[in-house]
């Protein structure tokens, strides 16, 4: 076999998101793109804010000497200063450029963090449902993933998390606003989680890092706030990207921020800078670093996402689907009306509706749809959802 046994096994369990997206490509060729309602991929459909184009043009017209060359593996000093200043304003904590590492998106950042902190056999707790790539990221660095189910409202089950922590627990990954549910973790929840982590660290004599994956932190609706994790947990690491808040998914630009009072923060950051290089990322894209330094207070227009969320939520709940109303990101995670979510996904395909089964996020009996699609796709899909609901008995 030309590939390793592990990769061959992983391919067999590869992302349902990509599998269903590829099915959409096939259907579009057969029926025409306007007749396919593809809700599979979380690819931002909003354009970057005008300030992005203004800065890009300014930089293109006035190039800086050496602007496309290597820099420190942690990134440009000026970019890290701008990010640290923005985080200080939000949290009141004394962050500076030394606490920031520029990365190739949040995916690159998570791999850097896990490579830095994990010994073989260390456990990483993830909250179900979760972004499926987490299990591969943890496995990349010889860790063991430990799944903990969230509550009925998809908020973390603090008692279950406490029961899952052992002497081998090295980190917990949280993701708020959440992919796939759109749920935002409340401040009360984070306070309780912080108390449990502190208690367990004392009891076990270990350090447990809370890794907060936050690419959707500024995609929030209805006046809801995403509490800054640094204000609750000292041993915390923020990993994020500008894929969603600036609409730059394909540019792969993000960063890691380490709480300034985290245990062994200096050594932790040194290790991450080393791993950023040796994992092959070397440094985050130079041009994007130059640009996002000036865009920390900018974001995409959320009105389109909000309108599409409300259109879908109102229609789907009216015809019988049950779900927790998303507060952020651009996903919904309704219950499958059929016990087998894979069967439901196949039934939806009959109406050219492409969805992702809950199994793909570690939780059977649900399905995810992404409303980062054109508004007309949402509108055109509503009669098809009505027909689908009738077939499955809603």
Q: Name the residue among 233, 224, 207, 173 with its Cα closest to residue 328.
A: 224
Mean pLDDT of the 247-252 span: 96
Which CATH number fits the domain that encloses residue 22? 3.90.1150.10
The answer to the question of residue 60 being in a domain is no
Q: How far apart are CA 180 and CA 370, in angstroms?
A: 9
Shared-domain flag, residues 217 and 332: no
Is pLDDT of 9 > 80?
A: no
Shared-domain flag, residues 225 and 245: yes
Counting residues of the chain whose pLDDT is more than 70, the rounded percentage is 97
Shared-domain flag, residues 97 and 221: yes
pLDDT digits (tens, 9 = 90+) for 293-321: 999 999 999 999 999 999 999 999 999 99
Encoding tokens for residue 377? 């796709």
In a 13 Å sphere around the CA of 291, the CA atoms on its Cβ side amount to 27
Q: How far apart are CA 318 and CA 45, in angstroms?
A: 26
Domain limits at 120? 66-292
Length of the chain: 394
Domain final position from 273, 292, 311 = 292
The answer to the question of residue 57 being in a domain is no
Shared-domain flag, residues 34 and 103: no
Determine phi and psi for 196, rounding to 5 degrees: -65, -45
Shared-domain flag, residues 280 and 186: yes
The answer to the question of residue 297 being in a domain is no
pLDDT at residue 15, as a whole number: 65
Mean pLDDT of the 329-352 span: 96
Shared-domain flag, residues 308 and 353: yes
Average pLDDT, the chain: 94
pLDDT tier, 381 (very low <50, low <70, confident <90, very high otherwise): very high
The answer to the question of residue 53 being in a domain is no
Shared-domain flag, residues 87 and 195: yes
The answer to the question of residue 138 being in a domain is yes
Counting residues of the chain whose pLDDT is more than 90, the rounded percentage is 88
pLDDT digits (tens, 9 = 90+) for 56-80: 999 999 999 989 999 999 999 999 9
Q: How far apart are CA 264 and CA 343, in angstroms?
A: 49
Shared-domain flag, residues 149 and 214: yes
Domain final position from 235, 263, 292 = 292
How many domains does the chain contain in total?
A: 2
Q: How far apart are CA 246 and CA 224, in angstroms?
A: 19
Mean pLDDT of the 104-113 span: 98
Is pLDDT of 328 > 80?
A: yes
pLDDT digits (tens, 9 = 90+) for 143-187: 999 999 999 999 999 999 999 999 999 999 999 999 999 999 999
pLDDT tier, 191 (very low <50, low <70, confident <90, very high otherwise): very high
Domain final position from 292, 326, 342 = 292
Shared-domain flag, residues 342 and 256: no
CA 139 to chain centroid: 18
- Three-state DSSP string of 14-31: CCHHHHHHHHHHHHHHHH
The answer to the question of residue 107 being in a domain is yes
Shared-domain flag, residues 15 and 85: no
Is pLDDT of 13 > 70?
A: no
Shared-domain flag, residues 122 and 14: no
- Cα-based angle 23, 134, 139 (whole degrees, multiple of 5): 110
Q: Name the residue among 139, 149, 151 with its Cα closest to residue 363.
A: 149
Which CATH number fits the domain that encloses residue 167? 3.40.640.10
Q: How far apart are CA 371 and CA 375, in angstroms?
A: 9
Q: How far apart are CA 140 and CA 149, in angstroms?
A: 23
Question: Which residues have a Cβ under 8 Å from the Cβ of 22 and sit 6 or more positions away?
Answer: none
pLDDT at residue 27, as a whole number: 74
The answer to the question of residue 324 being in a domain is yes
Encoding tokens for residue 153? 């409202």
The answer to the question of residue 106 being in a domain is yes
pLDDT at residue 31, as a whole number: 75
Residues 192, 194, 198, 201: what is their CA dihedral angle, to the nearest 10 degrees?
110
Shared-domain flag, residues 252 and 310: no
């Amino acid at each position: 076999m030309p590939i390793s046994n592990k990769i061959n096994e992983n391919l067999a369990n590869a992302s349902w998101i990509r599998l269903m997206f590829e099915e959409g490509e096939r259907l579009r060729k057969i029926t025409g793109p306007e007749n396919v309602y593809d809700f599979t991929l979380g690819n931002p459909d909003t354009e970057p804010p005008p300030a992005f184009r203004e800065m890009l043009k300014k930089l293109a017209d006035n190039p800086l000497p050496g602007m496309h060359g290597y820099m420190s593996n942690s990134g440009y000093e000026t970019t890290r200063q701008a990010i640290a200043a923005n985080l200080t304003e939000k949290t009141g904590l004394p962050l500076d450029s030394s606490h920031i590492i520029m990365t190739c998106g949040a995916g690159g950042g998570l791999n850097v963090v896990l490579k830095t902190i994990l010994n073989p056999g260390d456990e990483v707790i993830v909250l179900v449902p979760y972004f499926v790539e987490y299990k591969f990221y943890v496995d990349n660095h010889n860790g063991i993933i430990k799944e903990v189910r969230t509550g009925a409202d998809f908020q973390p089950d603090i008692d279950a998390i406490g029961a899952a922590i052992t002497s081998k627990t090295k980190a917990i990954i949280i993701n708020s606003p959440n992919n796939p549910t759109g749920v935002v973790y409340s401040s009360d929840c984070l306070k309780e989680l912080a108390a449990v982590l502190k208690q367990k660290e004392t009891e076990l004599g270990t350090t447990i890092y809370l890794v907060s994956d936050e690419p959707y932190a500024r995609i929030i609706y209805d006046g809801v706030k995403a509490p800054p994790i640094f204000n609750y947990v000292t041993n915390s690491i923020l990993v994020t990207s500008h894929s969603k808040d600036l609409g730059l998914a394909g540019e792969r630009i993000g960063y890691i921020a380490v709480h300034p009072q985290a245990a062994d923060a200096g050594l932790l950051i040194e290790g991450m800078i080393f791993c950023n290089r040796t994992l092959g990322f070397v440094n985050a894209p130079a041009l994007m670093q130059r640009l996002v330094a000036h865009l920390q207070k900018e974001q995409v227009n959320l009105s389109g996402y909000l309108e599409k969320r409300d259109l879908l939520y109102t229609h789907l709940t009216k015809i019988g689907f049950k779900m927790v109303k998303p507060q952020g990101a651009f996903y919904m995670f309704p219950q499958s009306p059929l016990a087998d979510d894979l069967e439901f996904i196949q039934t939806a395909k009959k109406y050219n509706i492409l969805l992702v089964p809950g199994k793909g996020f570690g939780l059977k009996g649900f399905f995810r749809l992404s409303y980062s699609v054109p508004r007309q796709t949402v509108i055109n899909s509503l009669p098809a959802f009505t027909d689908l609901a009738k077939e499955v008995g809603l």
